[in-house]
Structure 1
């Protein structure tokens, strides 16, 4: 049996509903000859006769009647599937599968996601925290929250906001080693490096007058994620640069001290990244929710 052209199923159903080739042609917007040709080819593809024709009337054969009932179910299921996809584009629903880094995911994304689920009870969530860049398509993620500077890719992105990079140390460390006063002092201090960065030991600072100074740090320890780097610094391991969303409470409560605040490091972007040109409503809704979350001070 040849491969069946599924487009002919709708022509067959329309013909049976209309009751004649002439009436079906009018409904379908095609010629009577074209309708007849579609049915003839469908019968050839199936290898059965669907209709008994005479000069005055048309009737379904036994095979045609059975096939017609099956076609009605198939087309109804297709229409329902199309409608369901359309609703997914219009109203947030289903499971939102997303990924983020361990530090930002714990500190910001997870709390924001909990609030989002309260607002949208028809949505479920699957949050995966991973400091390595996931393949959204291969791992079937709806979206990712990514930090810093985006690499070129075929994915779409939406900027959510930004965060500041702050150089910090614990009071215990500063009591033991002294507080650096000028940029050149940093080269002699204990540095806790974040191994994920492209240049974890070389940092360029901008002075109030706009001049830039680059310093190479002396590492005493390194960690492969921001959370571990934060813990090392918090417990007196040394000096490091950490994101503001992770250290704001520590600075406020005196557990960490900002060093040489007059010098600045570049702000880093926070992005929602997703595959496809038209993200579903659940993704669009969470992007809006994250924008509001990032824009609202904690």
Structure 2
């Protein structure tokens, strides 16, 4: 029995060549064998695909429509085979990645070292910045982005929300008092992170056990664009900082900082990994995205 995909490929080449004889050399088969493939397809669809005479051939109306569909089917079949080959390919080459400073320093980098041990033929150029980079123009393979998604031309995979906690030094709390409820923050020195300016710099959200969210307008005399700098100001006792728990974990464990409003859930920001839309992502990119989603996925 003839293979349908092979017969479709023969039919497309014969239709484009204009005759069975013209298509025969490229296909590596005789004109009569090409005719058998075409008749096989005509029997399957129940309609004539080609008008054939001793001198020329032409597509029927059904043949023209069938030809376009055959091209699509053959293209998809080729893409499926290439994808299967890629899945077995070894990730290799340089991967350029961008991530926010705090997440990149305290969460992504430890994961990257494990990724690089797993794939020894991959190297990573990681850039940490809280600036929103242009993935295409600046040549990144993938970026981690926290906050609203504005570029719809990229493929986005959701990660778990980026959760924040409020903390202050014991000396600050001894001098200014410890907030008991979110509303108390309005009377405190709250350290501002300028990276959140797009999402509302001077409003902090806290959710109680009852599910009610309290939106508090805070006052920030000191605003900085990196989390580590705000952490340093908090450790010095200047005010209350709102930062990722991952970054503050050691300070909280040693007592350099104390969590403020521990009975409330602090704000969170949407976090995603973004990469350029591509029909066939490279093995290095696909493996990296899969590892990130596995480590930080929702």
Q: Distance in 2 between matches of 1:22 and 1:204?
A: 70
Counterpart CA distance in 2 for 1:260 and 1:182 is 7
Deviations for 1:227-281, whole angstroms, at most 9, x for unmatched residues? Answer: 2222211221201211112112221221211111222234333321100134222
Counterpart mapping for 1:112-127 below 5 A: 112-127=111-126
For residues 122-201 of structure 1, the aligned pairs below 5 Å read: 122-197=121-196, 198=198, 199-201=200-202
Task: Determine if contact 1:160/1:287 at 8 Å carries over to the other structure.
Answer: no
Number of the residue aligned with 1:227? 228
Structure 2 unaligned segments of length 5 or more: list them: 1-20, 33-81
Describe the SS at the equivalent of 1:220.
coil
Equivalent in the alignment of 2:268 = 267
Shift of 1:209: 1.9
Distance 1:131 1:25, change over 3 A: closer
Distance 1:162 1:26 in 2: 55
Q: Is 1:214 aligned to 2:196, yes or no? A: no
Partner-residue secondary structure (3-state), 1:162: strand
Q: Could you tell me how far 1:87 is from its partner in structure 2? A: 4.8
Is this contact kept in 2: 1:167–1:242, CA < 8 A? yes
Asked if the contact 2:205–2:216 (Cα under 8 Å) also holds between the matched residues in 1, the reply is yes
Q: How far apart are the structure 1 equivalents of 2:30 and 2:237? A: 79
SS of aligned partner of 2:130: coil
Measure the CA separation in 2 of the matches of 1:161 and 1:89.
29
CA distances 1:134-160 after superposition (whole Å, capped 9, x unpaired): 111111111011223423421001123
Moved over 4 A (4+): 20-23, 28-31, 86-89
Q: Provide the alpha-carbon RMSD of the alignment.
A: 3.0
User: Under a length normalisation based on structure 1, what TM-score does the superposition of the two structures give?
Assistant: 0.67
TM-score (norm 2): 0.67
Q: What is the aligned length?
A: 227
Query: 1:98 Cα deviation (Å)?
Result: 0.7
- Which one of 273, 277, 286 corresponds to residue 284 of structure 1? 286
5+ residue gaps, structure 1, are 1-19, 32-82
Tell me, in whole angstroms, the C-alpha distance in 2 between the residues paired with 1:22 and 1:165: 66
SS of residue paired to 1:134? coil
Aligned 1:69-148 pairs, distance under 5 A? 87=86, 90-148=89-147
Measured after TM superposition, the shift of residue 96 of structure 1 is 0.8
Q: Which moved more, 1:118-127 or 1:257-266?
A: 257-266
